[in-house]
Chain A
């Protein structure tokens, strides 16, 4: 059974950065698509970006391209999302997702992590 275990909640100040981790277990790691989806309080889902660990080349949503870095550590079966220049609008639950092998975004997200809350407040 695939499990995605995410790092814990972090309160951040405006202008700072946050790095959220997601450790995958129970399945092959390097060939699958891993991504990040966020959800602001009371709002809908928003794609942040994704990566296929074996290719190491991340794919970012336009809205985040200049502020996000997504990476993968194959030896630890862990993906990371770092978001910089945080502002209050970045307050959200950040979900780690796994999709079947294929094009980032084209394969469905069949596994979701429990989410990591990142409140941004001065």
Chain B
């Protein structure tokens, strides 16, 4: 199974908003509301930012939001801050084969 499709990189200025897309198929993103987003700093373990499409774990700022339309999920970060820089990965449950698919990752740069 192919990984979920994410843009390789996005960038924005402090205070701006950006959106990272995550495109799957009707067998994964489109079929279930089990989409999560993770943020990873270089050399560190990823951390959960969004789960079940649009839910934030305790401690994640409300500047982070998630949504889904059809086979594409999105992560939006509003009011960009320098500390938001890092790699972002989406994941989705799939009933077929592997059970968990990850996106290829998107590097966010705050200029």
Chain A residues engaging chain B, CB cutoff 8 angstroms: 35, 37, 44-47, 50, 59, 61-63, 95, 103-110, 112-115
Contacts and interface: CB of A to CB of B under 8 A. Distances in A.
A47 B93 contact: no
A57 to B, nearest CB: 13
A108 B101 contact: no
A50 B99 CA distance: 9
Given A47-B101, A59-B99, A110-B51, 17 more contacts: A44-B3, A44-B104, A45-B38, A45-B46, A45-B102, A46-B102, A47-B99, A50-B99, A61-B100, A62-B98, A103-B93, A105-B93, A105-B100, A107-B34, A108-B51, A110-B57, A112-B45
B99 A105 contact: yes
9 contacts: A45-B105, A47-B102, A104-B99, A105-B94, A106-B32, A106-B34, A108-B51, A108-B52, A109-B36
A16 to B, nearest CB: 25
A62 B99 CA distance: 9
B33 to A, nearest CB: 9
B45 A108 contact: no
B58 to A, nearest CB: 10
B97 interface: yes
A59 B96 CA distance: 12
A47 B45 contact: no
Interface string B25-65: 00000001010101000000111100110000100000000
B54 to A, nearest CB: 12
B97 A62 contact: yes
A113 B47 CA distance: 10
Given A44-B104, A95-B45, A61 B36 contact: no
A115 B45 CA distance: 7
Nearest to B34: A106
B93 to A, nearest CB: 4
Given A44-B104, A47-B100, A113 B93 contact: no
Nearest to B49: A108
A35 B32 CA distance: 20
Contacts of B102: 37, 44-47
Contacts of B103: 44
